[in-house]
Structure formats: C-alpha cells, structure tokens
Amino acid sequence: MKQKTVRRMKRILRGGMLGIMLLALGTGAPLPAAMASPSYRTVTEVFDWGPSVSKVIVDVEHDVRAEEVDANRFRAHVKRTLAEGTKTMRSVMAGAPEEEGLEGDRAITAAYISDGEGNKAAHNHYVTLELAVGPDDALGSAVNFDVRSFHNDWVKSDYTITDTAAGTVIRACTGDVRPQAAPFTYDIGNAEGSYLSFPYASYEPRDGGTHPLIIWLHGMGEGGVTPSLTIMGNKAVQFADESIQQYFGGAYVLAPQAATYWMQGTSGFGDGTSVYENDLMAFLKRYVDAHPGIDKDRIYLGGDSNGGYMTMLLVRDNPGYFAAAFPTCEALADRLITEKDLKQIAKTPLWFTAAQTDEVVPPKDYVVPTVERLKKCGADVHFSFFDNVVDETGRYQKADGTPYEYPGHWSWIYVYNDRCETIIDGRSVKLFDWLSEQHR
C-alpha cells in the first residue's frame, strides 16, 4: 500500500510540473530556474576605430511578448580579460591602472525580441540588447593593442546579463557572431614565424565567373598568427562589402598576415627591405595559380602603414605583375627610394592616400616627395591627401561639438569608406572606380 502511494504521488508531481511548463510557455512568463538554461551570444562589429561588441543576443529559453522587453529590464556587466602579460595603451600612455577599462556595466541603448542572429522578430525566445559603442569606449572594444608586441590581440569578454524582471542572472556564453567577417574564410598557414607560408583571410565571389583580386596588406597592429585580425583589426572586412564589390562586379579578396611586421628588414626595421618579401611574392603567385577564377590581368595591391611599406617594395621589385596599387599612409621613407627604384615603381599605376596630421609617418618625409617625384617621371599617379581624419557618421563629436578626430595616421578609414576621390580628365573619379578600370 505504501509503494502504491509513492507511485501515485510521483505521477501527480510529473503532471503538475508539466502543467507549470505549459502555462509558462503560453503566457510568456519565465520558466522556473531549474527548467531553463538561459544563455547569450555576443555580436562583434567592425567600426572605423576597430572591432567592438555592439550587441548581446540573449536566449531566455521562453517566448516573451514585445511589451515585456525594454532596455531598463536588463543589465549587462562585462569583464574583459587580456592575453597573459599584455599591456594596454591606456595604462602606459595615460598612467591609468591596468584594470581600468577591463570591467564595468555597458550602456544598453535598445532591447527587442529577435531571432538567434539578432534580427527583430514579433515573438521569439531571443532578446537582443544593443550596446553603446564609440571610439573611446574601452569596455566595448574586442581587441587590445599590446604595447609590448605592437600587435592587437583579441580580448576575452565575459558578460553577466541580469534580467531584473525575471530575477535571473545569465552567464553562459555560446559564442560570438561576427557578421561582417562571415563571408571570409581563414587559413593559419605553416608554423608560427615561418616566412614560407602565411596565415590569411580570403573572400571569393560565389558566381563561378572570372573576377579581379584585391590583395590587402595589414598594418603593424594586425601581425601575428590570427588571420581574423587582418580584416577585423581595422575595417578591411569592407573589401567584401557590396559598397566596394559593386565596382568590380565581384572581386576576390586576400589578406595575408606577417608573423611580426612587414617592415622587418634584413639589416634593420624599415630599411627598404623585408625578410618577408620574396616568400610573400611566391605565396601570392601560388594563391593566384590555385584559383583559376582570378583574372591575372586585374590583380590589385594595397596596404596601410606597414602594409603600405610592403606594397611599395612589391611594386618596386615586381613591375608589371600588378595592374595597379593603392598604398595608404605608406611607410617607405622617400630617402630610401633611388632613381632606379622610382622608375620601377612608376611602371605600375598608383593611388596614394594620407592625411596631413599623420605623426607616425609624416607625409613630408614619405608620401609627398615620392608622389612629386613620380609625377615628374610621368607615372600614372593619384593622391588623396586629407587635412585630418574625422568621423563622418555624425555619431561622435568632440567636447566642442565638432566631429570626433581620429589619429592622422588612420587615413585607411577613408579608403574603407570609399571617400577617396579626384578629378581625372575633367570628371570626378573614386579610388575603386579607377582601380576597377586598371588592366595589366
């Protein structure tokens, strides 16, 4: 009799718990904590200043109604963990404590029901929290520039999401969404430090046709053995965006990565040589040969800073291979370019970009005299020379209300945002429009 009673009680309890679950699903109320396993995913987007965590997609494990969701219902607290031993620019330059900018509450600007990718939905069990981001927001930054290595490293960002209405705390992370980088694939190359092969990010048009190739060489901060940084360390993901792809009817994109710096020369840093040059050129040719869809007469080469330096070396030493090149804030000092070098460089059409406020590679010592010399020897050369580098989105301002100003070295922002333009034969022409018309 006692065993029958126990079995009967178990059936009642099972039925009762099922009823509670069905009731919760029907009303949009949260499930009991023991029944639910809420989690979150972060969304990392690349902005003019670099990658930041701009959203958190929370899986609350039960359907919710639109009227139940608003920004005040949730709290998003982040703890950022740097790679072991790294140093932040803030701590070194500003004398701030190392922990500053590593932990705190993120401002939530909007909250709405969405699907698992963060797209707004009428009803679902996902809630997307949009977070305030900005060029000076350390808490949102997805990378840290390590002042020891002069490389960027991805930061581990652990969030604690508090649903104040349901009384739940969510700490389980199921990954990171990187929508702009999604069209790219990665290859880690050979062992760390090898010059024979290179980690790289690449994008391929999917229509099966023949297309040009855009090669982009990263700056100093994007070196290492993590190829995602070649396109996300700054906004090189934009080369796969329709805003640029439209000029070419689709283009391959290749972004190889140096283990250290492209400017690592055979006798010193930035000495007019590179320990990577010969192997990089061999690698580029192997990549082209392995992709028959690449139009070999329309291979375009560009790069910023360190990458601009290597762009100049490859053009100098391989005249006739590239249909055109677009060095940006390039770091090959004009004093290192001989008259013989100049004649070799002049064989390739060139479009330079820089800003007058660049203090890292002052234009008066680098691009300005080089452009003037190229013009005198009859080269097909164009130059977008900006006064400074400012925010053009209208979202970020200085204290006096004028547009936010980036470091002058960051003229690559104007390249990614398709802002380089000049007059050619009486008409206004943009960089990528010009580039798409160049053939070997």
CATH of the domain at 302: 3.40.50.1820
Note whether 64 and 132 are same-domain residues.
yes
Calculate mean pLDDT across residues 108-131: 94
Residue 99 has pLDDT above 50, yes or no: yes
226 belongs to a structural domain: yes
**Which of 177, 197, 222 is a domain's end point?**
177
Calculate mean pLDDT across residues 74-99: 77
CA atoms of 27 and 409, how far apart (whole Å): 55
Note whether 325 and 394 are same-domain residues.
yes
Residue 54 has pLDDT above 80, yes or no: yes
What is the reported pLDDT for 98? Answer: 57
Note whether 136 and 189 are same-domain residues.
no
Note whether 118 and 214 are same-domain residues.
no
Note whether 172 and 212 are same-domain residues.
no
What is the reported pLDDT for 19? Answer: 36
What is the reported pLDDT for 1? Answer: 43
Residue 92 has pLDDT above 90, yes or no: no
* Range from 4-18, 162-176, 202-216 carrying the lowest mean pLDDT: 4-18
Residue 90 has pLDDT above 90, yes or no: no
162 belongs to a structural domain: yes
What CATH number did the domain enclosing 120 receive?
A: 2.60.40.2180
Confidence of residue 192 (pLDDT cuts 50, 70, 90): low
Residue 85 has pLDDT above 50, yes or no: yes
Residue 196 has pLDDT above 70, yes or no: no
Domain count for the chain: 2
Note whether 198 and 170 are same-domain residues.
no
Note whether 298 and 430 are same-domain residues.
yes
**Which of 142, 177, 212 is a domain's end point?**
177
Note whether 353 and 208 are same-domain residues.
yes
What is the reported pLDDT for 224? Answer: 92
Residue 208 has pLDDT above 90, yes or no: no
Three-state secondary structure readout of the chain:
CHHHHHHHHHHHHHHHHHHHHHHHHHHCCCCCCCCCCCEEEEEEEEECCEEEEEEEEEEEEEEECHHHCCHHHEEEEEEEECCCCCCCHHHHHCCCCCCCCCEEEECEEEEEEECCCCCECCCEEEEEEEECCCCCCCCCECEEEECCCCEEEECEEEEEEEECCCCEEECCEEEEECHHHCCCEEECCCCCCCCCCCCEEEECCCCCCCEEEEEEECCHHHCCCCCHHHHHCCCHHHHHCHHHHHHHCCCEEEEECCCCCCCECCCCECCCCCCCHHHHHHHHHHHHHHCCCEEEEEEEEEEECHHHHHHHHHHHHCCCCCCEEEEECCCCCHHHCCHHHHHHHCCCCEEEEEECCCCCCCHHHCHHHHHHHHHHCCCCEEEEEECCEECCCCCCECCCCCECEECCCCCHHHHHCCCCEEEECCEEEEHHHHHHCCCC
150 belongs to a structural domain: yes
Note whether 134 and 207 are same-domain residues.
no
292 belongs to a structural domain: yes
Calculate mean pLDDT across residues 236-259: 97
**Which of 126, 149, 177 is a domain's end point?**
177
What is the reported pLDDT for 10? Answer: 39
303 belongs to a structural domain: yes
Model confidence pLDDT, tens digit, residues 143-157: 999 988 899 999 999
Calculate mean pLDDT across residues 251-280: 97
25 belongs to a structural domain: no
393 belongs to a structural domain: yes
Confidence of residue 141 (pLDDT cuts 50, 70, 90): very high
How is residue 87 written in tokens?
A: 């140093």
Note whether 410 and 347 are same-domain residues.
yes
31 belongs to a structural domain: no
Note whether 138 and 230 are same-domain residues.
no
Note whether 283 and 426 are same-domain residues.
yes
- Parent domain of 55: 39-177
Calculate mean pLDDT across residues 403-421: 98
